[in-house]
Structures are given as structure tokens and as C-alpha cells.
Amino acid sequence: MPWEKSFDESDVVEKTMKVFWKKGYAATSISDILDVTGIKRGSLYNAFDGKEDLFMRGLLKYDAEQRRSMMRELESVDDPRKAISMFFDYIVRSSNSDCDQKGCFLVNTSLEFSQHSEAVQKVVTDAFKEISAFFEKQIKRGQERGSIPDTISPRETAKALVASLVGIRVMGRGTFGKAALQQIADQAKRLIA
Amino acid sequence: MPWEKSFDESDVVEKTMKVFWKKGYAATSISDILDVTGIKRGSLYNAFDGKEDLFMRGLLKYDAEQRRSMMRELESVDDPRKAISMFFDYIVRSSNSDCDQKGCFLVNTSLEFSQHSEAVQKVVTDAFKEISAFFEKQIKRGQERGSIPDTISPRETAKALVASLVGIRVMGRGTFGKAALQQIADQAKRLIA
DNA sequence: CCGTTTTTTGACCAAAAGGTCCAGACAGGC
DNA sequence: GCCTGTCTGGACCTTTTGGTCAAAAAACGG
């Protein structure tokens, strides 16, 4: 075994992810990536397959470290209303604390569908399906224990909550002010009130 | 006066708009535009300033012909609940009838903010502000005539409705199926029920 | 300390990007 | 029918794009 890489591969993916996240796929050039990682061209292509590969890795990393990890924490919340509420608060908080206003990488990517492979599309759609399923499950749990009214439809309300979430993420990129995002979240919660 | 243009300028803007709408700014090349309009390079740069200019014109055309014209029609609806309801149904219908799944040009553009001039950003944010103001006005009217409960906050509910609308537009690009969009819209209407 | 094996480096490539330019085509006014 | 002004076509330009390559450098086993 003759040599180890001089750079941390996952660090490169992390930095690359942030560029794609902020600027989108098409608007990000390889040069941008070289600049932000400090790595050289040859090293990049020695370690990765190319732009698409880099994007995919970044997206998977985001999905695992941001969305999945947050949802895993919320799974352990006992009170279903609180679990849903915490989800929204988390989104609002992370939207408001990001001074780059990058929004959500998954949402951003879903509006770039036409430029991406089906593999990428699947990551995104699966993510939204899981979020929707999460909401649905929590609503059902709430109905079982009487904290959420039986009159509402779990599946359809879940989808509406996802849409609100997406809306918050989009408006958080600069269209509405910070205060508005929390207000929207609070209103969305009325759907399960 | 020696010669008229051989192409219809507004027709070129229309076709150009559709490409930007579908693929986004960065992913659309001048060659794409030449292909879709059938016009030649020299003619394009003789009639327009360049890519940015073309994009701006397309965006303004969309805003005027899609959003503004629809809102103008809704202004004349007497029943405020119905006006809001029709807005959502219109969005759902136009999302579902577009086989290209382009979504909403304004929403798409709002996720490309970093690549655009402030002038472009202003068009988008103004559009959303107007939609929000429309909802707010309708909610207030509904409360005055007793068809919408006094307990809800007009301004904040309006913002939540905008977020739902945006969510529908995003999910309509392929993440959720057609049926889901109408379901989301129906749930959103519960915010003013 | 020498070969082996991998990484690094930066030059290099073809293609595509956005944009310019001008020779020629064209329709008016005279 | 010619002159004038604009419009068209496409060659052309520079820069940037994503990607390749070969030579040099660096750690390890022997």
C-alpha cells in the first residue's frame, strides 16, 4: 500500500454539496468545486467519476445527515402532535439560521428534475414520500390517543403538511421574511388542530 | 423606414419563455433558444440585449399573461371563499394539464435567486406579495360577511395559503401524483373553514 | 534504498458557452 | 431603378465548460 490521499474525501463531498445546494447543478462549474475544495482537477477526477457523481454523493449525504437524521430523532418523540410541531419548527429554524438562504437541497433539486438522472429523482421523491408517511403515521397515532380530531384524513392532511413544508423552504430563500416562516408553520399546524 | 422584422418579436419571447420555464436559466443555452425559435443568432442579438434580457422579458410576459390575468378574473368573483377556492383549483388544473411539468415560472425562478439580478428578484417577490395580499383581502371580506370565521388571522393565513400554493406547484413537477395536488388544495382550504 | 503503486499536478483537449461582426439581402422613399 | 436604412445569415471570437493524460512525487514493503 503505497500512499494515502492527502485530502479527506468526505470533506470534499461536504464542500461540494454546499455549492450544489446553493447554486444548483447547472450553475455550478467544476472550477467552482475546485475553488471551494482547494483540490486540483486531476485529484478530483481520480477520486470521483465526474460532476453527476459528485452531485449524487452530495445529495445522498444531505439526505442522510439532514433529513434522515432529523427524522430519526423525531421518531423517538412520544407525543405525535409535538413530533409534527417539532418538524416544522426545525425547518423554520434551519431556514432562518442559514444566512446563505440555500433552502432545502431536496426541494431545490426537485425543481431541477429535467436535468437529472432517474436515480437522482428517486432520491428526492423517496424523501418526500417518507416525510409524508411520517406525518400520516403521527396523525393516526394522534387520532388513536384522541389528541388529533378523527374528522381529518391522515393521508391527505399529511400531504398538505408536506406541501406547507416545501412552501416554507421555498419562501425562506428570500421571498418572505424570517417572521413569516414561523407564522406559516403555525398556521399549518392548524390543519391538525 | 426600410424593413420590418421577418419574425414576430413577441412570438420569440413566448417560445423563449417556455424554454426558460422548463429548464431554468443556467441550463438553457442560446443554442436552445435558436433551435426553438428558428431564428438565427444575428437576428436574436439584433432584437434583444442577450440572455438576461430575454429571460426578463419572458418572466414579465408570464407574470402578465398567467398570474396577473388570472388574478384579474378572480377579483371579479363576489364570494370570497369561492375566489380563494377557484385560485387553488386553477393552480391544480394548470399543474395537471401541463404534460411538461414545468410548474410555475415564478416559483422556479425563486429557487434560482442567486443567479439573477435584483430586478428579476423583485418581479418574483412582488408577485408573491400580491398573491398574499389578494388572499388577505378575500379573507377579510369573508369575515365581514360572516362566511369565514373571525378567529383566524387574515394576514398569517394568507401567507400559509401562499405557501401551500407554492408547495403544490413544486410537488406538481413530478414528486406527487396528479390526484395528490387536488387533495392538498382541498386540505389547504380547511385553513379558512 | 530501491522498486511498486497510488496520488498529485498542471498542461492539455474538444466542445460548448455567450456574444460580436459584417457582407449581403431586402423593402421603402425618391 | 437606385439609394438608404435596417434586418438576416453565418462565420468568427473569446472564455468557459467538463473531462483526460502523462510525468513527477510520495509513501510503503522488501
Average pLDDT over residues B157-173: 98
Nearest to B115 among A27, A176, A186 (CB): A27
Q: Do B160 and A24 touch (CB under 8 A)?
A: no
Digit-coded pLDDT (tens) for B48-82: 999 999 999 999 999 999 999 999 999 999 999 99
What residues of chain B lie within 8 A of the CB of A27, using their CB?
Answer: 25-26, 112, 114-115
Cα separation of the two ends of chain B: 62
CB contact under 8 A, B175 and A128: yes
Buried residues in B64-73 as b, exposed as e (16+ CB within 10 A):
eebbeeebee
Query: Is A57's pLDDT higher than 60?
Result: yes
Phi, psi (deg, nearest 5) at residue B129: -60, -40
Q: So what's the pLDDT on residue A68?
A: 98
Over residues A71-129, the pLDDT tens digits come to 999 999 999 999 999 999 999 999 999 999 999 999 999 999 999 999 999 999 999 99
**Global pTM exceeds 0.75:** yes
Residue of A nearest to B190 (CA): A191
Which nucleotide's C1' atom has the smallest distance to the CA of B53?
C18
A55 compared with A7, residue with greater pLDDT: A55
Angle between helices A178-189 and B154-171 (to 10 degrees): 90
Give the gap in angstroms from C-alpha B115 to the nearest C-alpha of chain A: 7
High-pLDDT (> 90) share of chain B, %: 95
The radius of gyration computed from the CA coordinates of chain B, to the nearest angstrom, equals: 19
Q: What is d(CA A93, CA B3) in angstroms, rounded to the nearest whole number?
A: 59
Please tell me the predicted confidence (pLDDT) of residue A1: 54
Q: Is the pLDDT of residue B1 over 60?
A: no
Asked if pLDDT for residue B182 goes beyond 80, the answer is: yes
DSSP assignment string, B143-162: HHTTSS-TTS-HHHHHHHHH
Helix, strand or coil for residue B44? Answer: helix
List of chain A residues whose C-beta atoms are within 8 Å of the C-beta of residue B188: 160, 163
Count H helices and E strands in chain A, helices first. Answer: 10, 0
CA distance B5 to chain A (A): 33
For position A7, what pLDDT does the model report? 83
Distance from C-alpha of A123 to C-alpha of A97, rounded to nearest angstrom: 25
Average pLDDT over residues A32-48: 96
Task: Please enumerate in sequence order all residues whose Cβ is within 8 A of that of B10, keeping only pairs 6 or more positions apart, or say none.
Answer: B61
Taken in order A146, A149, A151, A153, the sign of the CA dihedral is negative
User: Which of A174-178, A188-192, B84-88, B99-103 is the least confident region?
Assistant: A174-178
Residues A87 and B55: their CA atoms lie apart, in Å, by 37
Residue at shortest CA–C1' distance from D3? B2
- Under 8 Å CB pairs connecting chains A and B tally to 143
Cβ B110 vs Cβ B123: under 8 Å? no
Structural contact between residues B131 and B162, judged by C-beta atoms closer than 8 angstroms: yes
Per-residue cell: A146: 384522541
The model's confidence at residue B123, banded by pLDDT at 50, 70 and 90, is very high
pLDDT at B2: 61
pLDDT value at residue A150: 97
B116 DSSP assignment: S
